[in-house]
Amino acid sequence: MRKLVAFACFAILSAVPCLAQGGETDSLLQTILAEMRGMHNDVRLSATSQILLTELQLQQSAVDKATQRRDEMQNQVTQLQANQKNMATQLANLEANSTTPADGPQAKQMQQFKDNIKAQSAALKTQEDQRSSDLLDAEGSLRKAQDSLADIQDQLNTIVKKLQPAAGQP
């Protein structure tokens, strides 16, 4: 691109002595200058669009990772909730089917089993609370990444709109 600009400058400078006759010189020089400014602007916009395309790819990767993390957290929360429901059902069934005498080794064993299920259920609830918090963080990170992606896409669209009229000219 620099070679093109240098060639254009050389062409202008070599044409100046030939065109130094008459009022057409100023008009021609103004036209050439306007064309050079347009070319410079196109080059600048093209370079900016390349940078934005790279940023777009990186940000899309960040969105994909954030989406994956959010989905993993959602799956973990769902699994923990299912496990809790299963434990509650198991405990309810044990209590409903409890026909053993109030004392003895079987009653003691049954009570220990119930206590164990209750402890596991409480631990699952704690894990669910933590995963739910992690899920909220993951959703926030995803929204932030998506907003950044949208901003980059808007900037790129603006540049494309600026370049389109130039592309349509002969």
The residue segments making up the domain with residue 107 are 2-168
Specify whether the CB–CB gap between 49 and 159 falls below 8 A: yes
pLDDT at 107: 77
pLDDT at 103: 67
- 165: buried, middle or exposed (CB in 10 Å: 19+, 13-18, 0-12)? exposed
Tokens of 164: 């389109």
Task: Report the chain (170 residues): mean pLDDT per 10 consecutive residues.
Answer: 60 55 76 86 82 92 96 95 91 76 74 89 93 95 96 90 63
pLDDT at 37: 86
Domain with 105 in it: what CATH number?
Answer: 1.10.287
Specify whether the CB–CB gap between 88 and 122 falls below 8 A: no
From start to end of the chain, where are the E strands? Answer: none
Which residues have CB under 8 Å from 43's CB, separation 6+? 1
DSSP 8-state assignment for residue 11: H
Number of domains in the chain: 1
Specify whether the CB–CB gap between 148 and 59 falls below 8 A: yes
Tokens of 135: 């899920």
pLDDT at 61: 96
pLDDT at 110: 82
Specify whether the CB–CB gap between 55 and 156 falls below 8 A: no
Instruction: Give the sign of the dihedral formed by CA 132, CA 134, CA 139, CA 140.
Output: positive
